[in-house]
Structure formats: structure tokens, C-alpha cells
Chains A and B, each alone.
Chain A
């Protein structure tokens, strides 16, 4: 059995003369949390709708849970929370879950038990008997998430799951996603909140102008790891030795108070990297191949007797990566 729960190759969607999605190619594995990122109008929602069978692709191939796009046997095993979850506002929260559960053909006793379990998990038990029309936006988002999970899905599509939620609500959703991953459920998250994606996703794909342009694992993005140190007195030889532990040209950078940096060569040319004056601290960033470099840097600095005030492993933020991948032309305005 294939490990992929979502496979898309060259999926395309055209609306008249407008190409909404030019080339959607990605793969989501069983049990992973996958982030789908892109600026407004990049084709994220259309892509999601194609994968769910809500929109018929104009070209390309795709499979969800081993079935062709839109097949009912796949829909039996997936859950979906749309970005703008709408509902029959005269139903109570409990009735809504019962209704959606019946569409999956879940037996009555099991459905009642599953409903109560989800209401409790999403902190909605007290409001379960109230009409949805009286719910706050955050409560609606949570009951929407509950309906997406009513059938114990193997794959869940969440479109902006934390929009409209307060910090506590976001934490709750994050915990639910964590539980799903632990239970082996794959989660496909479409979100603008990069911090949320960074905190929950194992892998991400970036979509730009209807094309998937970059796909990467978040936890093992070794090329984006660096070691940041705050040093006391360090001579030029120490800094040169430190640079040899780094990866790529200009691996060592001096960090300035304004958050900016200059590479070591440039600094050396301008004699900016001088031994620190006694009592002064300076911060450096060393781009390294991976986490393994961390103890080597510490050992070198200790052996050379350099005062080490602070040392931490830093990764490039998803936001920085997003801007890098999307480029300046995707900035609004």
C-alpha cells in the first residue's frame, strides 16, 4: 500500500481565460501534518477543492487515499473544514454533529458516543444544546472542526483552521492536530498564519501563481540551521577557526544591534571583525550544516578560552523562508 494519502501531478484548473492553478504537484504522506502555503490568489483554495472533488480539474492527475479525485470511497475516510464554515444556524451543536455523522452512515450509538467525545475534546459540551446561531466565531470554528473529525478520518483537510480563534482556541486546535498526528491521521493545513504552520507542520509546500514551487520538511531543514553566539574577547584566529566550522561561503556573520549582519569577508576587509574589547560583547551567527555542529562550536570556543555568554541554535523562520520563496513581487501593494 502506498504511503502517500495525497498525490497530485500537474493538476490544473482553468476558469474560462483564467488559469487558477497551473501545476499542482505534491505528495502528502500518511500520518504527517502538511502545510500548504501561498499568498492570496495563489490558487490554494482551488487546489484544495480539486483534491476534495468539489471542483473538476482541467488537467493533470491526482489521488486521495488511493482513489481518483472525487471518489466516494475516499470521501468516506476524510474530513474537511472549509475556511468559511457555514451551517444551519437553527441546529444545536449536537444536532449538527449528528447530521454530519449520519451522512457517513455511522450507527446511532456510536455516533452519540463520538459526538460527546468530540464536544468534550473541543470544549463545547456546555454549549452543545444551544443553537449554532448563538455561538461565537471561535465556537463555530471549533464545532466545524468537530464535524470534520466525526468519522475518525484518515486524512483531514483544514482550510485556515485557526482563523477567528483566540490564543486559547489556537492552542486547543494545535493540540487536536498533535493528537491526530499521534493517531496516524494525515492533516493537510491551508493557512496564512505561518507561526501556526511552523508549530504544527512536519512538511510544507509553497504555491505561487498556481504552481507548487517549493516543498520541504520543516524539522530537518538542515540548510537553514545556524548557531548564534554572544562572545566576549575573541581574536581573529578564533573567528577564522570558527568560520571553518560553518557551511558555505561567508558562513560567519557579525550581528549588529539593528538586527542586520555583515559577512565575515566583508567585515574583515573593512576590519570590522576585530578582537572584541574587554568587557564588550559581540554577537555572531555561524551558518552550519546541521545540529551536529553545535557541540563542535562550543568546544572550540571553550578550548580557546573565549568568554561565551550565550549560545543558541537558530533556524530560518518560516516567514523569512516564505518571503524568500515568494520573492519581492508577491508583496502586497
Chain B
């Protein structure tokens, strides 16, 4: 355990020095500034308009807040894939891993140490973005989405899931291939989720099934979908009044599957790295 934490400590330092994290932070900051400015004007117009009903105001604020959270989630997805994408494959390719693996450390400790560090960094990054979005909503419209305690853990879970997938790929694949596979899987989940929504809306069982299979193959997008669903008022869920009110919402079983998927990805990373020649 001590050696695992030594690896985590080093990886945390390394992550904080990476340009990709700096780029993500700059991108995130730019997004938050734009979002806050936009929110300010939307809230001002809503407050000034005498014809806006309370329900309309609520729908508009919920939708704008969820749109901000969606953008934060998307930035988090990119960070979760890109930050750890070369954590193992990069060191294997450069040979740096040889010096490390020849030390009295289990290979599983190397994998888990790196995973823990990247999961912490990505969760911190996503939390900052979410915090920025919620702060803007609070400051300019005195609005907070409901059931944050249900939605936010799901968003963080999606980040951890993708970190696990990226780390697992890096244990066996080259950096570029790993990035392609991770984003490819996420793309599959994203499209699959839309196919499922369209299938549910059009009452097309085959399309729904295709979407469900895609979500089983990569259960990342369904976590965001369920998070967004849980962070809006019940009436809006029922009316499907925003693009974030899905016609078909992921079940709790799918959330359990996503957790199991992340654990399996991590297990595969440990096994894959443990068996490969360095």
C-alpha cells in the first residue's frame, strides 16, 4: 500500500505538470467565463420579462443549468480519456517503466497508484467545472438544481469509469491506439444513447434494444443521462420539457453495471500490465 501511494504521489505531481491538464484548465476557465456571462444575461431577461410565468422561468433556468453541466461533463470526459491515456503506454514505450518495475513493487501497485492519481485529478477537474456552473446559477438567478446529491456522484462516476478504461487500454495498447479506442467507445455510447431515446420516443423496440446494447458495451453516457434526469424537477421529467429529459432513462441496474464495468476495466488493466513483457 505504501508503494502504491508513492506512485500516486509521483503521478499526481506529474499530472499537475502536464500541458494537457493546463490546456484543460484554460479551456474550462474560458467555458466558465462565457457561461457565467451568458447566464447573467439570460437571468436578467427572465427577471425583466413581465410575461414569463414561474414555470417558464423554472424550465429556462433548469435547461440552462443542465446545459452548463452537460458542457462540464463533456470537458470532463475528454480529460478523463486524455490525461491518463499515456500513463502506462507512454512509460512502456519510453522504457521508463523498466526502472520502476525492477523495484520491489507489485505491478498492480503501479497500475492502481496511477489510476488513483488520475481519478483524483479528473474528479477534481470535473468538480471545479460543476462548482463553477452551479455558482453562476446561484449568483445570477438564485437557482440550484434539485437532487444534486444524486446527480453529481453519477457525473463523477462517469469520469472515473473513463479513467479506468483509458488506464486499461494503456496497459496493452499504444498511446494513440488507446486514445482512439477510448473515444471510439465513448462515441458508441453517445450515439447509442440517442438511438435509444429516438427508439423510445418513436416506440421502436429494435432501436431501443440497439441503444441498450451500446450502453452495455460502454455505460458512460447513460450515467450523464441519469444524472441530468435526476437533477430536474419531477414535473419537467414527466413533461420531457428539456433536451435533458430523456424518453428512456437508465435503470439503477445500469448504474450498477457501470460500476462493475469500471471495476472490470481496472482488473483488466492490472492483469494486462502484470502479464506483459516490459
Contact = CB atoms under 8 A, between A and B. Distances in A.
Interface stretch (A77-85, A178-186, A189-197): A77-85
Nearest to B101: A54
B32 to A, nearest CB: 28
A80 B102 contact: yes
Interface in B170-195: none
A55 B278 CA distance: 6
SS class, residues of chain B in contact with chain A: helix
Contacts of A87: 96, 99
Interface in A96-125: 99-100, 102-105
Which of the listed residues B2, B17, B101 has the most CB atoms from chain A within 10 Å of its own CB?
B101
A56 B275 contact: yes
Contacts of A72: 104-106
Nearest to A52: B102
Contact of B278 (A54, A86, A103, A105): A54
B103 interface: yes
Contact of B6 (A73, A99, A144): A99
B100 A103 contact: yes
A309 interface: no
Contacts of A105: 2-3, 104
Nearest to A78: B102
Given A49-B277, A72-B106, A75-B104, A82 B10 contact: no
Contacts of A53: 101-102
A88 interface: yes
Interface residues of A, number: 29
A175 interface: no
A259 to B, nearest CB: 42
Nearest to B93: A86
Interface string B94-131: 11101111111110000000000000000000000000
A246 B99 CA distance: 50
A76 interface: yes
A147 B102 CA distance: 12
Given A55-B277, A86-B94, A147-B99, A103 B14 contact: no
Given A54-B277, A55-B278, A56-B275, A90 B17 contact: yes
Interface string B150-182: 000000000000000000000000000000000
Contact of A99 (B10, B17, B104): B10
Interface in A153-167: 157
Contacts of B104: 72-73, 75-76, 103-105
Interface in A38-80: 49, 52-56, 72-73, 75-76, 78, 80
Nearest to B277: A55
A100 B103 contact: yes
Interface string B189-221: 000000000000000000000000000000000
19 contacts: A54-B101, A54-B102, A54-B278, A55-B277, A72-B104, A72-B105, A72-B106, A73-B104, A80-B98, A81-B99, A84-B95, A85-B99, A88-B14, A90-B17, A100-B99, A100-B103, A103-B105, A104-B104, A147-B99
Interface of B: 2-3, 6, 10, 13-14, 17, 91, 94-96, 98-106, 275, 277-278
